[in-house]
Structure 1
Amino acid sequence: MTSWNVEFLQANAPASQRALIILNQPFSSPLFHRLWNACKWRCCADGGANRLYDLFSRPEFKGDTDFRRLFLPDLIKGDLDSIRDDVRRYYESQGVPVIQDDDQDSTDLMKCISAVEEKEQVEEAPRNDVILLGGLSGRLDQTIHTLSYLHKLRKVRPRVFAVTDDNVGWVLDEGEHIIHVDHDLLGLTCGLLPVGISSTILTTSGLRWNLTEHPSSFDGMVSTSNHLVLEEKEVRIKTTRPIWWTAELRGSGLV
Structure 2
Amino acid sequence: MSQWTLPFLDPPSRAGAPKGKYALIILNQPFSFPLLSRVWNACRWRCCADGGSNRLYDLLSSTEGQDPKRFYLPDLIKGDLDSIRSDVRKYYESQNVTVIEDGDQYSTDLMKCIHSIEQKEQAEGAQEQYDIVLLGGLSGRLDQTIHTLHYLHKLRTTRKRVYAITDENVGWVLDEGEHLIHINHAVLGQTCGLLPVGVDSTILSTKGLRWNFTEQESSFGGLVSTSNHLVPEEPTVWVKTSRPIWWVAELRNLA
Give the TM-score category using the shorter length. Answer: over 0.9
Any idea what the Cα deviations from partners look like across 1:129-157, whole Å, max 9, x if unmatched? 00000000000000000000000000101
Answering whether residue 35 of structure 2 is matched by residue 31 of structure 1, we say yes
Matching residue's letter, 1:237: V
Shift of 1:158: 1.9
List, as ranges, runs of 4+ consecutive aligned residues in structure 1 with deviation greater than 2 Å.
Answer: none
CA–CA separation in structure 1 for the residues paired with 2:160 and 2:242: 17
| Aligned residue in 2 for 1:71 | 72
Quote the residue 1:197 is aligned against: 199
Partner residue of 1:85? 86
Q: Which amino acid aligns with 1:219?
A: G
Mapped to 2, the partners of 1:167 and 1:71 lie a distance apart of 23
- Give the aligned partner of residue 168 of structure 1: 170
Asked if 1:14 is matched to 2:21, the reply is: no
Q: How far apart in 2 are the matches of 1:75 and 1:239? A: 37
SS of the aligned residue for 2:199 comes to coil
2:213 matched residue in structure 1? 211
Q: Distance in 1 between matches of 2:56 and 2:44?
A: 17
Q: CA deviation at 1:70?
A: 1.2
Q: Secondary structure at the match of 2:21?
A: strand
* AA at the equivalent of 1:23: L
Partner AA of 2:105 in structure 1: Q
Question: Residue 152 of structure 2 corresponds to which residue in structure 1?
Answer: 150
Kindly state the Cα deviation for residue 214 of structure 1 after the two structures are TM-superposed: 0.1
Give 2:246's aligned residue. Answer: 244
User: Paired residue for 2:54, among 47, 50, 53?
Assistant: 50
**What's the Cα RMSD here?**
0.9
Give the percent of matched residue pairs that are identical in Structure 1 and Structure 2.
68
Q: Which residue of structure 1 lines up, in the alignment, with residue 108 of structure 2? A: 107
The number of equivalent residue pairs is 250
| TM value normalised by structure 2 | 0.96
Residue aligning to 2:233: 231
Letter in 1 for 2:112: K
Q: SS at the partner of 1:56?
A: helix
Q: Aligned partners of 1:223 and 1:30: how far apart in 2?
A: 30
Letter in 2 for 1:143: T
Distance in 1 between residues matched to 2:69 and 2:231, nearest whole Å = 40
Aligned with 2:96: secondary structure?
coil
Contact kept? 2:47, 2:78, Cα under 8 Å: yes
SS at match of 1:151: helix
